[in-house]
Amino acid sequence: MKKTYKVEVDCANCAAKMEDAIKKIDGIGDATLNFMTQKLIVEFEDGVEINAVMQAAYKACKKVESDCVIYM
Partner 1 sequence: MTRKQKKMLIRIIVSAVLMIGLNFIPIDGIARFILYLVPYLIVGYDILIKAAKGIANRQVFDENFLMSIATIGAMIIGLVDSGDYVEAIAVMLFYQTGELFQSYAVGKSRKNISALMDIRPDYANIELDGKLIQTDPDDIEIGTVIVVNPGEKVPIDGVVIEGNSSLDTAALTGESLPRDVKIGDEIISGCVNMTGVLKIRTTKEFGESTVSKVLDLVENASSRKSRSENFITKFAKIYTPAVCFSALALSVIPPLVNILILSNPAGWGTWVYRALSFLVASCPCALVVSIPLSFFAGIGGASKEGILIKGSNYLEALSQTDCVVFDKTGTLTCGVFEVTAIHHNQMPNEKILEYAALAESASSHPISKSLQRAYGKELDTNRVSDIQEISGNGVTALVDGTQVAVGNDKLMSKLGIKCADCHKTGTVIHIAIGGEYAGHIVISDIVKPTAQKAISLLKKSGVKNTVMLTGDRTAVANQVAQTLGINTVYSELLPADKVARVEQLLAEKSSKSKLAFVGDGINDAPVLSRADIGIAMGGIGSDAAIEAADVVLMDDDPVKIAKAIKISRKCISIVYQNIVFAIGVKVLALILVALGMANMWLAVFADVGVAVIAVLNAIRAMFVKRL
Query: Under the rule (CB under 8 A), what is the footprint of partner 1?
Result: 10-13, 16-17, 32, 34-39, 41, 63-64, 66
Sheet holding 39-44, edge to edge: 28-34, 39-44, 2-8, 69-71
Nearer to partner 1, 52 or 63 (CB): 63
DSSP designation for 36:
T
Nearer to partner 1, 35 or 48 (CB): 35
Nearer to partner 1, 42 or 47 (CB): 42
Which residues make beta-bridge pairs with 44? 28
List the end-to-end C-alpha distance of the chain, in Å, as a whole number: 16
